[in-house]
Amino acid sequence: MLDANFWQNKSLAQKVIKEKKFHENLINSYEDSIKELAELNDLYQLAKDENNNSIINETLQNIEDLKLKTKKNETKCFLSNESDSLSCYIEIHAGAGGTESQDWAEMLRRMYMKWAANKEFKSQIVHEHKGDEAGIKSSTLKIEGDYIYGWLKTESGIHRLVRISPFDSGARRHTSFASVWIYPLVDENIDIEILEKDLRIDTYRSSGAGGQHVNTTDSAVRITHIPTKIVVQCQNERSQHKNKETCLNMLKARLYDFEIKKKEQESKNLESTKSEIGWGHQIRSYVLHPYRLVKDNRTNYESSNPDKVLDGAIDDFLESSLYKIND
């Protein structure tokens, strides 16, 4: 940062500053924890000498709270991969089952947007295909902020819901599935080459909300990368040009993620939970009936408050997954 040419590349400089701030916060938090632990130890010894059980119990509780705080900081140390500091795209697709799965996909989309809002991160819907009766068939979100991809990368996989269906007049229990895929939002410093000859670009009329212009012009864009068969689409913008630009950015993210996964497989460092996930591989189950429980099938972490989880309180699941992949 002391280099005279440091600010010539503004985006790179901002990245370095972000990483510096992240590591400074970790170090400061560690030093504060060491100081707090020493103070609590002194207080405990004093209370023990005076047989003050009230202070002893309060001190022990404060130590437990400090352990939880230290564990959260330890989790942040796992966010050291090159792409962890980036923002991300979230793709959600309803599984087989029609309205049931489409409603479940919309519940997941709401969960991630609530999580982002609770963290004061910026989120937006890039593309969405509404269900015929309710819910969504697919949706692509963009969430922007520091270390978003690092936190959410373990969410990729199949999410399973068990509940009494609100769409079944017989009030029977239904099981629904939806897939979630997380991709890093590639910044300008990561060079991803995309050849024009490798692309098939289609335009079509947007089916979502957006006023008369959106509904009467072919503003929505779909791009297929022929070599990898990766497909991205966007209908969020009123301009076809802007939708195409967003699609290309999404394609860069998908190709970057594709290369990361390929390198991990080649080096045999890819965990079984990171492998290609089929519809039979559920990473998490959300049960609303006959009992109420959210359970991660990879870490066995559980929550008995599914309403809170579906309102975006997924931090404990994210942390336990990060611990699992770094064991």
Query: pLDDT digit string (tens) for 207-243?
Result: 654 444 444 467 889 999 999 999 999 988 878 888 9
Residue count of the chain: 327
**CA-wise closest residue to 81 among 154, 147, 25:** 147
Which pLDDT score, from 0 to 100, does residue 168 have? 84
Which pLDDT score, from 0 to 100, does residue 265 have? 67
pLDDT of 22 over the 80 cut? no
pTM, whole model, 2 decimals? Answer: 0.75
Which pLDDT score, from 0 to 100, does residue 193 have? 82
- Proportion of the chain above pLDDT 70, given as a percent: 87
Q: Are 178 and 6 in contact (CB under 8 A)?
A: no
In angstroms, the CA 289 to CA 163 distance is 5
The torsion of the CA quartet 21, 22, 24, 28, rounded to 10 degrees, works out to 130
Starting at the edge strand found earlier in the chain, the sheet holding 199-204 runs: 199-204, 220-225, 230-234
The torsion of the CA quartet 128, 134, 137, 140, rounded to 10 degrees, works out to 30
Starting at the edge strand found earlier in the chain, the sheet holding 302-303 runs: 122-130, 136-144, 88-94, 173-184, 157-164, 282-287, 293-296, 302-303
Q: How far is the first Cα of the chain from the last one, in angstroms, to the nearest whole number?
A: 34
pLDDT of 276 over the 80 cut? no
3-state SS track over 219-242: CEEEEEECCCCEEEEECCCCCHHH
Q: Pick left, alpha or beta for residue 200 (phi over 0 → left; psi -120 to 50 → alpha; otherwise beta).
A: beta
- Please tell me what DSSP assigns to residue 197: G
Residues 6+ apart with CB under 8 A from 307: none
Least confident of 60-74, 104-118, 220-234: 60-74
**Strands 282-287 and 157-164: what pairing?**
parallel
Please, what sign has the CA dihedral across residues 11, 91, 313, 319? Answer: negative
Structure tokens, 117: 């809002």
Which pLDDT score, from 0 to 100, does residue 35 have? 93
Alpha carbon distances (Å) from 43 to 31, 35, 70, 97, 136: 19, 13, 20, 59, 56
Which pLDDT score, from 0 to 100, does residue 214 have? 43
Please compute the mean of the pLDDT values over residues 118-147 and round it to a whole number.
93
Please compute the mean of the pLDDT values over residues 185-202 and round it to a whole number.
83
Q: Are 209 and 128 in contact (CB under 8 A)?
A: no
Q: Give CA 197 to chain center in angstroms.
A: 32
HSE-up (13 A, CA, CB side) for residue 216: 3
Per-residue b or e along 171-202, where b marks 16 or more CB atoms closer than 10 Å to that residue's CB: eeebbbbbbbbbbbbbbeeeeeeeeeeeeeee
Indicate the average pLDDT of the chain: 85
* Confidence class for position 273, pLDDT limits 50, 70, 90: very low
* Confidence class for position 110, pLDDT limits 50, 70, 90: very high
In this predicted model, which residue has the larger pLDDT, 13 or 95? 95
Least confident of 50-54, 66-70, 107-111, 271-275: 271-275
Residues 6+ apart with CB under 8 A from 7: 13
Alpha carbon distances (Å) from 147 to 22, 88, 124, 300: 9, 9, 17, 25
Please compute the mean of the pLDDT values over residues 130-150 and round it to a whole number.
92
Q: Which CATH number fits domain 85-327: 3.30.1330.10, 3.40.50.300, 1.10.10.10, 3.30.70.1660?
A: 3.30.70.1660
